[in-house]
Structure 1
Amino acid sequence: MGALSKRAMGALLMQQHLSLFACPICQQKMLVEQQSRLVCANNHSFDIAKQGYINMLTSMANSKYSKELFEARKVVIDSGLYDIVEQKVSEYIGHVKTVLDTGCGEGSHLARIMAQKEAHCIGVGIDIAKEGILAAARHYPKQIWCVGDLAKSPFAPASFDAILNILSPANYDEFKRLSTPNGCVVKVVPQSHYLQELRAQLYADSEKERYSNAQIVARFQEAFTDVERERVTYTMPLARELVPALLEMTPMGWHKKEDTAIILDEITIDVDILIGK
């Protein structure tokens, strides 16, 4: 017997974890049909792509994020720049069976965190950007990848022991609906010195050179009754060849003028990790 195709591998993972899914149109339970789609009792059907991911959007969605951005993001994350943050997140979620990464992009953070978990633990990534999910499925076939919108969620209530929200917009009502009774939500948000060397060159002497996450943190603290907060700060050498990728992956870089030379030999990661229960 030959090796399974990526579509068959994705279908098998979904079959093994069907209880996580609910139809985003009618909220009914779902079944895998012919290793090619998820179908609910009301015959709403969602195709499993040949790359192994599933598209569960109920309407067209436009993303401002390009294939090039996700490729750059993977290069930067694979360099180890966020290893310390990922290790902290892994420690906070502890021993769990189900992890959902919301706004997962090309999946690198989730895949690297899941590599630290037990074999029985399944990771699911969701993003509205098809290009990100396509890259995630191509590189990380051991996780479930879903193009979807949390405003019309394709998941069943109380399904996930840990929900991750790493440098991405949040939907707290949906996070709480999807969390198991003892589950947690882990949100990573920039702190004031995040990528400060880049910010200093792009936004010198302007208000954008300074950043505060106070409003985001306050909103998180309003959403959860039990909140922990840890600041993680470190500065790492930055290889010259990573500078273009860093500029491509961050919205700060999108505003760089063509004649502006960016010279970086180190970069600071400065984030708050918020844990809500």
Structure 2
Amino acid sequence: MTSLNVTNWSDCLVCPVCGDEMLLKGERTLHCVNGHEYDAARQGYFNLLTGRGTKFREDTPEMVAARLRFLEAGHYSPIADAIVAEVPREAQFVVDAGSGPGYYLNSVVSSLEDSGQSSQSSTQPRAVALDISRAAAKHAAKISNTLSLVTDLWSVLPLAANTVDVVLNVFAPHNIEEFRRVLKRGGRVIVVTPAPHHLQELRDAETGLLGMQSGKQEKLHHTFSEGFTLLHETNVDFSLSLDTQAIADLVGMGPAGHHTSASPDEESPTESAQATDGEPRTVSCGVVLSVFQKS
């Protein structure tokens, strides 16, 4: 767990049980005035799932390891760069809703810290990483001045109203009501969704990747039509030359990774991805980056 320079997070955190303000006591305990406490796991994250937890499946350690190998190789750096470019330099509180291991959030926080140092800012940006995967949360906990919280994105988020400058929402569910509640007026949601041709070569090869929904952007615009204004959209298109291991990681890091245990007479998606001639394969990548502003 990285050292947190901010000792009191009561201005932006709320208890998932009672909704009262929640404070960081030391670096290992979150607590509220009603006595609800959450101790940090050994790896530095806080598990805020309550009651029955969540009905959704969390990414496994194997899926997270595949994602880290793929992302840290720089394959999706064009996406990270495009996200960083949309975050206002004056942003002080960023939330990544569906952060995974925190690859994109880390890029944003690093950029904001560099910007603050160059302008001799007296305050450092804070960040919160939200994900249901404990395996992912332990990596997000390593990001500078970031609280990594395990929570269900479809529940009430453990964040105070009107406190967040920017919400990142990269290949993740959109909890519109909660985004609207926690954002400051004029705050931004940066949404990244796959374009129709994204990874088409791998879909054609039947590697187990899920098909693309039609009318995805139209549905996104409708979802954000109440309480948000679309500022602009950017298409980020690039191609990758991927070897067998990178293809297996790309397939295994997403939803297809939940199905890696196949029956003896059936190939798993990862095995199917590895069943190539060993030559690098060119893969088309395309995402749409949509920037919505809270009205």
TM-score by length of 1: 0.86
- AA aligned opposite 1:88: A
Cα deviation digits, residues 54-90 of structure 1 (max 9, x gap) = 1111122352421110111111111111111111111
- Supply the distance in 2 between the matched residues of 1:142 and 1:121 (Cα, whole angstroms): 7
- Supply the distance in 2 between the matched residues of 1:267 and 1:212 (Cα, whole angstroms): 22
- AA aligned opposite 1:94: P
Cα deviation digits, residues 117-136 of structure 1 (max 9, x gap) = 22522221001121210232
Which SS does the other structure have where 1:192 is aligned?
Answer: coil
| More deviation, 94-103/262-271 | 262-271
| More deviation, 76-85/113-122 | 113-122
- AA aligned opposite 2:148: W
Specify the alignment match of 1:218 in structure 2: 221
- Supply the distance in 2 between the matched residues of 1:237 and 1:44 (Cα, whole angstroms): 50
Specify the alignment match of 2:74 in structure 1: 80
Alignment of 1:24-173 (within 5 A): 24-33=16-25, 35-59=27-51, 60-61=53-54, 62-95=56-89, 96-118=91-113, 120-137=124-141, 139-140=142-143, 142-150=145-153, 151-173=155-177
Q: How far is 1:192 from its partner?
A: 0.6
Unaligned runs of 5+ in 1: 1-5
Specify the alignment match of 1:15 in structure 2: 7
CA root-mean-square deviation = 2.6
- AA aligned opposite 2:61: K
Specify the alignment match of 2:120 in structure 1: none
Which SS does the other structure have where 2:82 is aligned?
Answer: helix
Which SS does the other structure have where 1:17 is aligned?
Answer: coil
Given that 2:9 and 2:24 are in contact with CA atoms closer than 8 Å, whether structure 1 keeps it comes out as no
Q: How far is 1:109 from its partner?
A: 1.7
Q: How far is 1:215 from its partner?
A: 4.8
Question: What's the % identity of the aligned pairs?
Answer: 25
Q: Closer, same or farther in 2 for the Cα pair 1:216/1:66, shift >3 Å? A: farther
- AA aligned opposite 1:77: L
Q: How far is 1:218 from its partner?
A: 3.2
Q: In proportion to residue count, which structure has more helix?
A: 1
Cα deviation digits, residues 232-255 of structure 1 (max 9, x gap) = 111122234312211211235666
Unaligned runs of 5+ in 2: 117-123, 261-266
TM-score by length of 2: 0.81
Q: Closer, same or farther in 2 for the Cα pair 1:254/1:156, shift >3 Å? A: closer
